[in-house]
Amino acid sequence: MNFATEHQYGVDPGEDTKKVETPEKYDDNIHEGSVETHDNVDELKRHLGNRQIQLIAIGGSIGTALFVSIGGGLMAGGPGSLFIAYTLYSCLLGLVNNCIAEMVIYMPVSGSFVRMAGKWVDESFGFMAGWNFFLYEACLIPFEISALNLVLTFWRDDIPVGAVCAICIVLYGLFNVVAVKYYGEAEFWLSSGKLLLLVMLFCFTFVTMVGGNPQHDAFGFRYWSNPGSFAEYVTTGSLGRFEGFLGALFSAAFTIVGPEYLAMVAGETIRPRTYLKNGFKTMYWRFGAFFIGGALCVGIILPYNDPTLQNAGTGTANGSPYVIAMQNMGISVFPHITNALMVTSIFSAGNAYTYCAMRSLYGLSLEGQAPKIFSKCTKQGIPIYAFAMVMCFPFLSFLQVSNNTAQVVTWFANLTEAAQLIDYIVMAVTYICFHRALKAQGIDRDTLPYKGWFQPWCGYIGAGGMTIMVCIYGYTTFLPGWWDVGTFFSYYTMVFVAIITFTFWKVLKKTRFVSAAQADLVWDKPIIDAYENSITEPPTKFREELMIMIGMKKRKTHLGVE
């Protein structure tokens, strides 16, 4: 398994090139002595440290939906259904996280699961996965800018829409074109704002439910009994309550995210097998604390039949269950603080989408599934032409300058809804093939840098569960009196796009599914092994990096301290 591939030759030494002793395991193909080592086979640079990786993982998990759209799930299902749905879906996504963690920590390459799908399943499967992820991320950038404009109307409605769009585009460009470390630093601070907001809202929930509100009303879990724990949706009776649970489950499916954002930074992470392992392992408690905790909180502070919850679909702060509860209690200042932090949350989401869209297009180019020009990088490791392509999408946000065309941007977001679920199906299916390849090639999983538990059953359950979600989440359009062509396509367009892109590449390239015995499990592993073996400084913990950042501690090296 461990031998150098042809990729190790013909790589131009860059500014991060080092001289290290060649490990004996590479002797089959490299002469003994010193060898050039590189961050990656491609041109990306590893500049993201533990501090940045952990906050990117948090920032990728916490989105606007957790503060606003979750109200739609409460209205559809009630607090009981919402809590159960968010718990169930968190467990399901945890299974997928278990799959992607093992693969990414083993092979932390640029493009991550997009390229793995092509290497270990089928080239056409990778083509479909890459373009699905790219379109999903790129189309959400203008949507987030639109959401930012809507949230700003909480204070006043005469803020120039075009100016906000232009400022966002410039800032996204600056954060993503200079060097990846600046993107990481921006996400560190923006994600810190998200985390602060979440902690504040959790504290608000606890304090007010025990009587710390202007009315001194210790309401506790009152709304779980009046109007009740389970709401009716679409129909009435037991069936209506089950459909309410489905409504809450679909809300969870578009609120609970995370593994894909951590996976996409794999090719630019310092000491990836240490820091990514920490990030993926902490994803489980993040699901529990952020999402299950969030679902519990909104069900405590607000009844599901509050008429103001209708604003949950508007994308404004007025639609946030927390803001509605604050206004109901007569709290005047806290809503403004919440809205200010929501602005940073929305801006951070757009910044993350810009980064992920660039890297997915870059990964497609490396595999020959997008024009080669998109794999060209600057000296700082930025895929410059992929950046230019992605930065065309934010300009769609200017459509909202005209009230008649503002809805177009929302359509872009709606058309890509299923793409997120398809991403998770891709991860799970790719893992199943990866697991089979390990077994067929006699590789003991105990030798991997990270071994996921309960495998391959996590992969099978994750793939099956996500496939069921994709198939049924638009079921209401098939009910009598509910049919609407636009709504149907908003649910299922990306499913059709996935089928078309897979079939197109299959027919064009006449690709075949990769057999378990022939799957390339070596790939870029020798380069990554050599890179990690060349690092002499000990890894730093998250808390240590924070102390180093503020000057309270010096960085350790193999010689002592700096």
Would you say 392 and 143 are in contact if contact means Cβ atoms under 8 Å apart? no
- Under the banding of pLDDT at 50, 70 and 90, the label for residue 346 is confident
DSSP string, 130-166: HHHHHHHHHHHHHHHHHHHHHHHTTT-S-S-HHHHHH
For residue 554, tell me if it sits in a domain.
Answer: no
pLDDT at position 60 over 70 = no
Evaluate whether residue 31 is within a structural domain.
Answer: no
Q: What is the pLDDT of residues 181-208, one digit of tens each?
A: 677 777 778 878 888 888 999 999 999 9
Residue 480 has pLDDT above 80, yes or no: yes
Is pLDDT at 152 greater than 80 in this prediction? Answer: yes
Q: Which two tokens stand for residue 458?
A: 């996590």
- Inform me whether the pLDDT recorded for 5 exceeds 60: no
Q: Is residue 374 part of a domain?
A: yes
Q: Are 50 and 282 in contact (CB under 8 A)?
A: no
Q: What contacts 111, CB < 8 A, 6 or more positions away?
A: 130, 264, 267, 359, 360, 362, 363, 364, 366, 367
In the block, residue with structure tokens 């997008």: 370
The confidence score (pLDDT) of residue 245 equals: 95
Helices (H), 215-288: 222-225, 237-253, 259-264, 272-281, 283-286
16-31 per-position pLDDT tens digit: 444 333 333 333 333 3
Please tell me which residue, 261 or 422, carries the higher pLDDT value. Answer: 422
Instruction: Give the global pTM.
Output: 0.85
Give residue 521's pLDDT.
Answer: 92
Residue 78, pLDDT > 90, answer yes
Contact 429, 508 (CB under 8 A): no
User: Does pLDDT of 142 surpass 70?
Assistant: yes
Is residue 544 included in any domain, yes or no?
no
Cα distance between residue 470 and residue 200, in whole Å = 34
* pLDDT of amino acid 298: 93
As for how many domains the chain has, the answer is: 1
8: which 2 tokens? 């190790």
Report, as an integer, the average pLDDT of 408-414. Answer: 62
Cβ neighbors of 147 (< 8 A, separation 6 or more) are 64, 315, 346
Higher pLDDT among residues 321 and 463, named by residue: 463
| Assigned domain for 529 exists | no
Label residue 404 exposed, middle or buried (CB < 10 Å: 0-12, 13-18, 19+): exposed
Q: Which residue has the tokens 């949507």?
A: 143
Q: What pLDDT, in 10s, does the model give residues 100-119? A: 999 999 998 888 898 999 99
Q: Note the residue count of the chain.
A: 562
Most confident of 35-49, 175-189, 341-355: 341-355
Res 191: pLDDT: 79
Is the CB of residue 40 less than 8 Å from the CB of residue 11?
A: no
The answer as to whether 6 is a domain residue is no
Looking at per-residue pLDDT, the higher value among 517 and 52 belongs to 517
* All residues at 6 or more sequence positions from 276 whose CB lies less than 8 Å from its CB, including other chains: 53, 101, 104, 105, 108, 262, 266, 269
Residue 561 has a pLDDT of: 42
Residues 6+ apart with CB under 8 A from 144: 64, 346, 347, 349, 350, 353
* pLDDT confidence tier of residue 526, bands split at 50, 70 and 90: confident
Round to whole Å and give the CA distance between 110 and 99: 18
What's phi and psi for 49, nearest 5 deg?
-90, 180
Write down the pLDDT at residue 299. Answer: 94
pLDDT bracket for residue 141 (50, 70, 90): confident
Q: What is the pLDDT of residue 457?
A: 94
Q: Is residue 547 part of a domain?
A: no
Its domain, for residue 344, covers 51-524
Beta bridge partners of 20: 35
Mean pLDDT of the residues in the chain: 82
Per-residue pLDDT band for 48 (boundaries 50, 70, 90) equals confident
Domain harbouring 398, CATH code: 1.20.1740.10
- The region of weakest confidence among 4-8, 151-155, 349-353, 483-487 is 4-8
- Indicate whether 134 belongs to any domain: yes
C-alpha span between 155 and 159 (Å, rounded) = 9
